[in-house]
Amino acid sequence: MNVLGINFSNDASASLVVDGRVVMAVQEERFARVKHFAGFPENAISACLKAGKVSMEEVDTVAFFWNPGIHAATPNWRISSTPRHHLEFFHDVPNHLLPRVGAPPEVSEQIFHLAGGKRMRIVYVTHHLAHAAAALLSSPHDEATILTVDGYGERDTSVIWKAKGTTFQRVWTQEFPHSLGGYYAAVSQYLGFKPNSGEGKAMGLASYGQPIYADEFRKMLRLTPEGFELDLSYFSFFVERPVRYSQKMVDLLGQPRVPESPITKRHEDLAASMQAVFEEAILHLAALAKRITGATVLCMSGGATLNCSANGRLIKTGLFEKYFFQPACSDAGAGLGAAQYVTHVLEGVPRGTPTMLLDYLGPRHSMDEVRVTLEKGGIPFHTPADAWETAGKLLAKGYIGSVFQGAAEFGPRALGNRSTLSDPRPAAMKDRLNASVKFREGFRPFAPSIQAHRASEYFEGCDFSPFMLRVHATRPEKIAEARSVTHVDGGARVQTVQRADNQRYFDLIESFRKETGTPMVLNTSFNIRGEPIVNSPADAVKCYLTTGMDFLVMEDVLLVKDTSIL
- Specify whether 194 is located in the same domain as 253: yes
Separation of alpha carbons 353 and 350, rounded Å: 9
Domain holding 198: CATH number?
3.30.420.40
Q: Give domain status of residue 8, yes or no.
A: yes
- The residue from 292, 325, 358 where one domain ends is 325
- Specify whether 533 is located in the same domain as 389: yes
Q: Give domain status of residue 74, yes or no.
A: no
Q: Give domain status of residue 89, yes or no.
A: no
Q: Give domain status of residue 14, yes or no.
A: yes
- The residue from 280, 311, 346 where one domain ends is 346
The β-bridge relationship of strands 491-497 and 447-451 is parallel
CA-CA-CA-CA dihedral for 202, 206, 212, 213, to nearest 10: 10
- The residue from 346, 381, 399 where one domain ends is 346
- Other CB atoms within 10 Å distance of the CB of residue 454: 17
Q: Give domain status of residue 257, yes or no.
A: yes
**Alpha carbon of 7 to those of 3, 28, 90: distances in Å?**
13, 10, 22
Which strand (E) or helix (H) includes residue 63? strand 61-64
What is the residue-wise DSSP string for 311-379?
HHHHHHHT-SSEEEE-TT-SHHHHHHHHHHHIIIIIS-----S--PPPSB-S----HHHHHHHHHHTT-
- Specify whether 274 is located in the same domain as 393: no
- Specify whether 342 is located in the same domain as 385: no
The confidence score (pLDDT) of residue 94 equals 38
Residues 6+ away with beta carbon under 8 Å from 354: 139, 140, 141, 142
pTM comes to 0.93
What is the residue-wise DSSP string for 310-330?
HHHHHHHHT-SSEEEE-TT-S
Q: Give domain status of residue 172, yes or no.
A: no
The confidence score (pLDDT) of residue 459 equals 98
Separation of alpha carbons 506 and 455, rounded Å: 13
- Specify whether 231 is located in the same domain as 320: yes
- Specify whether 313 is located in the same domain as 384: no
Supply the DSSP symbol for 490.
Answer: S
Residues 6+ away with beta carbon under 8 Å from 148: 128, 131, 132, 135, 156, 158, 159, 161, 300, 301, 302
pLDDT in tens, the chain (566 residues): 999 999 988 899 999 999 999 999 999 999 999 999 998 899 999 999 999 999 998 999 999 898 877 754 444 444 344 444 333 323 333 343 333 334 455 566 666 666 666 667 888 899 999 999 999 999 999 999 999 999 999 889 999 999 999 999 999 999 988 999 999 999 999 999 987 778 999 999 999 999 999 999 999 999 999 999 999 999 998 665 688 999 999 999 999 999 999 999 999 999 999 999 999 999 999 999 999 999 999 999 999 999 999 999 999 999 999 999 999 999 999 999 999 999 999 999 999 999 999 999 999 999 999 999 999 999 999 999 999 999 999 999 999 999 999 999 999 999 999 999 999 999 999 999 988 999 888 788 899 999 999 999 999 999 999 999 999 999 999 999 999 999 999 999 999 999 999 999 999 999 999 999 999 999 999 999 889 999 999 999 999 999 999 999 999 999 999 999 99
- Specify whether 341 is located in the same domain as 294: no
Q: How many domains does the chain have?
A: 3
Residue pair 211/273 in contact (Cβ under 8 Å)? The answer is: yes
Range of the domain at 230: 180-325
The confidence score (pLDDT) of residue 83 equals 44
- Specify whether 307 is located in the same domain as 377: no
What is the residue-wise DSSP string for 235-272?
B-TTSSSS--B-HHHHHHH-SPPPTTSPP-HHHHHHHH
Residue pair 51/44 in contact (Cβ under 8 Å)? The answer is: no
- Specify whether 321 is located in the same domain as 333: no
Beta strand extents in 154-296 (DSSP E only): 156-164, 167-175, 221-224, 227-230
Q: Give domain status of residue 461, yes or no.
A: yes
- Other CB atoms within 10 Å distance of the CB of residue 86: 9
Q: Give domain status of residue 91, yes or no.
A: no
- Specify whether 279 is located in the same domain as 397: no
CA neighbor of 513 nearest in space, from 400, 446, 424: 424
Separation of alpha carbons 145 and 286, rounded Å: 9
The confidence score (pLDDT) of residue 115 equals 64
What is the residue-wise DSSP string for 69-136?
HHHHHSTTGGG--S---SPPGGGGS-GGGS----S-HHHHHHHHHHTTTPPPPEEE--HHHHHHHHHH
- Specify whether 335 is located in the same domain as 307: no
Domain holding 407: CATH number?
3.90.870.20
* Position 120, amino acid: M
- Specify whether 340 is located in the same domain as 397: no
